[in-house]
Amino acid sequence: MANILIVDDDPAVQITIRLILERAGHRVTVAGDGYEGLARFETSQFDLLFLDIFMPGMDGLETMRHIRVLQPALPIVVISGRAVAPDAYAEPDFLKMATKLGAVASLQKPFRPDALLAAVDGCLTSAPQANAASGSR
| Interval 67-85: pLDDT, tens | 999 999 999 999 987 655 5
Give the integer Cα–Cα distance in Å for 88 and 30: 32
Is the pTM value of this prediction over 0.85?
Answer: no
Owning domain of residue 24 = 3-133
Domain count, the chain: 1
The per-residue pLDDT for 65 is 94
CATH number for the domain harbouring residue 10: 3.40.50.2300
| Interval 85-137: pLDDT, tens | 555 555 557 778 788 888 888 888 888 999 999 999 999 987 654 444 444 44
Cβ neighbors of 50 (< 8 A, separation 6 or more) are: 4, 5, 6, 7, 8, 17, 76, 77, 79
Give the integer Cα–Cα distance in Å for 32 and 6: 8
